[in-house]
Structure 1
Amino acid sequence: MVNIPFNKPYLTGNEIKYIEEAVKSGKISGNGDFTKKCQNFFQERYDFGKCFLTSSCTDALEMAAILLNIQPGDEVIIPSYTFVSTANAFVLRGAKIVFVDSRADHPGMDEESIEALITSKTKVIVPVHYAGIACDMDKIMELSRKYNLAVVEDAAHAIDSFYTGKDGVKRALGSIGDLATFSFHETKNIISGEGGMLVVNNNNYQKRAEIIWEKGTNRSAFFRGEVDKYNWVDIGSSFLPSEVTAAFLWAQLENLDRIQSKRLQLWKKYYEVLNSEDIKHTLNLPVIPKYATNNAHIFYVVTSNIQHRDEIIQRLKSKGILAVFHYISLHESPFYRSKVKDENQNFSNLERYTDCLLRLPLFFELEPEIIDQISKTIDETAEIF
């Protein structure tokens, strides 16, 4: 029996209180007071552009694809080592997905491989900030300007994480690209069960984003008194979360600093105990580039081979501890393979992460003693591998 899960959602104590307030307010369908509180929080704390809470990060990505007017045949560059929603949102609009390899030192996309993939049909680059660690956004934004491409930051992992550019300015992830998407799924640092957010940093997209968010209508403009009635004016969908979801999220945001502080303590504990000479010669620990901060979303190790990874999983499971691998490379997925017949690109780095990356339990209530036990178990495998 598993006694220590991979993830355990943390409740701050005010979630039920705020949900009750939302219900009693008589306004629970979305875009009410709690929605506005959450959106204003992000805009003010992180210098984001206009923020729109959504029912999921998947919804936010789908909004982005509509907003960028993706058409059949357009090409979108994304890492293969990511969740399916990163690709699927653009596939739904008819785009061709062009996958890029991971870095040798990190599961994030290899920025040096992007330019060779750009064609006259390329419309968007989607950097995914894996484990909350920034991609090299200077390089990506330079390509954006050079080839007139939109940039959508997939910041699902990256709440409260930052990037310092060549100009020395420290910017929150999600504030750099034209658009950005976040997740508040129960596995994330800050949660609302399901939930997400679209950030619109490019002012040219803000007005239309609100219309798409409101099912293709100018309903929000109507409630502000800017038009005398609202109409169907564009395509869109039901992307708004309910006020119940926003109320839950607000309770989390009030405690963001406390949650982040505890997660960082646990992350550093992992790094300390696994950085011993006995262990580290058999696996690689996370790499944090100088330009990036660490938000302690994931603590992962990369083992010497798939057999080593599986051995660690089984030994931890026998002690009631659940550790899990992560993404299966999207370029190897049945869906993608059914569409693309002649893919000859080299994905040697990300195939290593598919086979060898292992995520260890990390959640607010995790006890440091469990980290010691996990380290000891991993140490036991070092003699074998």
Structure 2
Amino acid sequence: MIPFNKPYLTGKETDYITDAVASGKISGNGKYTKMCQDFFEKKFGFKKTLLTTSCTDALEMAAILINLEEGDEVIMPSYTFVSTSNAFVLRGAKIVFADSLPNHPNMDCSKLESLITPNTKAIVPVHYAGVSCDMDVIMELAKAHNLFVVEDAAQAIDSYYTGKDGIKKALGSIGHLAAFSFHETKNIISGEGGMLAINDEQFIDRAEIIWEKGTNRSAFFRGEVDKYGWVDIGSSFLPSEIIAAFLWAQLENLEKIQSVRKSHWENYKIQLENWAKSNEIELPLIPNYATNNGHMFFIKCKNVEQRTQIINKLKEKNTHPVFHYISLHSSPYYSDKHDGRILPNTDNFTDTLLRLPLFYELDVQTVINQIVE
């Protein structure tokens, strides 16, 4: 069987977990947490990072940090995972869904300004498949309307955006805040796990307090205060040292993992090009301003019937592709809260997008041969 995903282990994960356990410090914010956070800050230029137990937690922290209140509006794509919306709905926000681009699931930034109202508090771009949204447009709108930008970079580790200034910036380093995922389906994993990246210094001190259950505990352990207590709202967002130790083994092998994944992606792209054209199927588009991080290879079928046929044929060969997402604006929970706008591109991706297997140890040639056959 060729599964959709298979977690890759570097071989050092259990060694570092054993070391963390032997240290007697396994509850979190220890040696491995600090090593991981330092790695991200130095490599990608984030001002401050905090590991979390999930990307969902990182998004929830972001919603708290921007002081969302009942009735505030948050603009985000409808074609995304439910966590993107849930984090802000939990704070009482109204979600205003943006449509996707015609040729990519990322939200259509040219239509965003028409969605902004006096109640808009934030824009949440989702870098689908690790491919950047047009961040210049988003940041200019945010500045003009005094909005916060929270990047959902769950799929976007080690991916970049080049703006009009010609400077290449890591995704997650551009908005005021950003959230990453290290779920086992991502490029770099820790089973479950995530990270909040903070790029606006006004949020750094408070983020650490929210991360530590609303206390100034971290400041106390650094000797900055003589006692710690409850000073803000928060929750138990930080992961154990066991999760951080696992993640560290992955980060040591980031370049190797990325090289292999991007090679698989390129093989799909090159070898499926003729097949796709002859079957009216679209392959992924990478805009000039974006890079490809090898997170996902998807195809856009001409209709839901064709997609179903491809899924069934591949499953007969014991290969398992998957489709997602179901448009959030038409979901059972939010359909009666949506403002009624039709989002045709989002609905089209719901019916036609199919993700092919992509993981480190994948025999990509076998999958390509099966598809072409």
TM range (shorter): over 0.9
Q: Where does residue 317 of structure 1 map in the other structure?
A: 315
Alignment of 1:175-214 (within 5 A): 175-214=173-212
Deviation at 1:278, TM superposition (A): 6.4
- 2:71 is matched with which residue? 73
Determine the structure 2 residue equivalent to 1:337: 335
Q: How far off is 1:368 after superposition?
A: 3.2
Partner of 1:363: 359
User: Aligned with 2:192: secondary structure?
Assistant: coil
Match of 2:226 in 1: 228
Q: Are the equivalent residues in 2 in contact too, given 1:269–1:371 (CA < 8 A)?
A: no
Write out per-residue CA displacement over residues 285-332 of structure 1, whole angstroms, 9 at most, x where no aligned residue: 000000000001010000000000000000000000000111000000
Find the residue that maps to 2:298 and give its secondary structure. strand
Counterparts of 1:44 and 1:370 in 2: how far apart (Å)? 39
Q: CA RMSD in A?
A: 0.9
Structure 1 range deviating more: 283-292 or 367-376 = 367-376
C-alpha contact 2:175 2:199 (8 A) present in aligned 1: yes
Aligned amino acid, residue 362 of structure 2:
L
Contact map agreement 2:12 2:249 (CA 8 A) in 1: yes
1:280 CA displacement: 4.9
| Count of paired positions | 373
- C-alpha displacement of 1:252: 0.2
Distance 1:367 1:317 in 2: 16
Q: Paired residue for 1:381?
A: none
Separation of aligned partners in 2, 1:30 and 1:280: 53
Instruction: Write out aligned runs for 1:1-385 (5 A).
Output: 3-276=1-274, 279-340=277-338, 343-377=339-373
Aligned residues of 2:275 and 2:372 also touching (Cα < 8 A): no
Closer, same or farther: CA 75–280 of 1 in aligned 2, 3 Å? farther
Q: Which residue identity is paired with 1:345?
A: R
| Cα distance per residue 1:64-102 (max 9 Å; x no partner) | 000111000000000000000100000000000000000
CA distance in 2, matches of 1:280, 1:365: 29
Aligned-pair CA distance for 1:345: 1.2
TM-score in terms of structure 2 length? 0.99
1:346 deviation in Å? 2.6
CA contact (8 A) 1:107 1:130 kept: yes
C-alpha separation between the residues in 1 aligned to 2:151 and 2:84?
10
Q: Where do 5+ consecutive residues of structure 2 fail to align?
A: none
State the Cα distance separating 1:370 from its structure 2 match. Answer: 1.6
Letter in 2 for 1:194: E
Q: Verify the 8 A CA contact 1:152 1:179 in the aligned structure 2.
A: yes
Tell me if the contact between 2:135 and 2:163 (Cα under 8 Å) persists in the aligned partners.
Answer: yes
Query: CA–CA distance in 2 between the matches of 1:368 and 1:124?
Result: 40
Q: Secondary structure at the match of 2:271?
A: helix
2-side partners of 1:128 and 1:325: how far apart?
Answer: 18
Contact 1:274 1:280 in 2 (8 A): no
Q: Is the 8 A contact 2:272 2:368 kept in 1?
A: no
1:372: Cα distance to partner?
2.6
Contact 2:276–2:283 (8 Å) recurs in 1 = no
CA gap of 1:77–1:88, structure 2 versus 1, over 3 A, is same
Q: CA deviation at 1:338?
A: 3.7
Which whole-Å CA distance do the structure 2 matches of 1:278 and 1:78 have between them? Answer: 30
Distance 1:357 1:228, change over 3 A: same
Structure 2 contact 73–94 (Cα < 8 Å) conserved: yes
Amino acid at match of 1:307: E
Inter-partner Cα distance in structure 1 for 2:282 and 2:113: 28
Q: Secondary structure at the match of 1:43?
A: helix
Match of 1:382 in 2: none
SS at 2:104's partner residue?
coil
Q: CA deviation at 1:339?
A: 3.2
Query: Distance between the aligned counterparts of 1:184 and 1:214, measured in 2?
Result: 20
